[in-house]
Structure 1
Amino acid sequence: MIMDEELDAYRLSGEKVRVVRDGLESNDVVGIVLAWDDEQVLIRRQNRRVVKLDRSYTYQPFSEPRHNPVDLD
């Protein structure tokens, strides 16, 4: 689970994040962090829609290469 300090740093910088939900890159959510609570994070996508995502997903900077959480090696 992502820590509050990391979420706050993403929110303050306005940096785009990638939320990796499963092994398919097409299911990733890209946007900026708006707010969060103990269980969920609000992300504003590029089309200005807001989505609620679980904090257990993998959050990483969009500028970094994607890390697959289901690595089959």
Structure 2
Amino acid sequence: MISDEELDRYRLEGTRVRVVRDADPANDVKGYVMAWDDHTVMIKKLNKRVLKLDRQYRYQPWEDERAST
């Protein structure tokens, strides 16, 4: 699970993140961290839609190479 400190750093720096949900790269979510609680993270996608995703997914900067699940 991603830490509060890491989520806060992504939010404050405006880092575009990749959310790796499964083995298929087509299912990755690209966006910005808006808010979070103990179980979920709100991601604002580039098309301005907001998704509420599980905190158990892998969150990483978009520029980094995609991590395998």
TM-score (norm. length: structure 2): 0.99
Bigger Cα Rg:
1
Question: How many angstroms apart in 1 are the aligned matches of 2:50 and 2:16?
Answer: 14
1:42 aligned onto 2:42? yes
Q: Root-mean-square deviation (CA), in Å? A: 0.3
Question: How many angstroms apart in 2 are the aligned matches of 1:8 and 1:43?
Answer: 13
State the secondary structure of the residue aligned to 2:42: strand
Aligned residues: 69
State the secondary structure of the residue aligned to 2:5: helix
> Identity percentage over the alignment?
58
Give structure 1 stretches of 5+ with no counterpart: none
Give structure 2 stretches of 5+ with no counterpart: none
Question: How many angstroms apart in 2 are the aligned matches of 1:58 and 1:9?
Answer: 15
Identify the residue that residue 6 of structure 2 maps to in structure 1: 6
Identify the residue that residue 16 of structure 1 maps to in structure 2: 16
TM-score (norm. length: structure 1): 0.93
- Aligned partner of 2:7: which letter? L
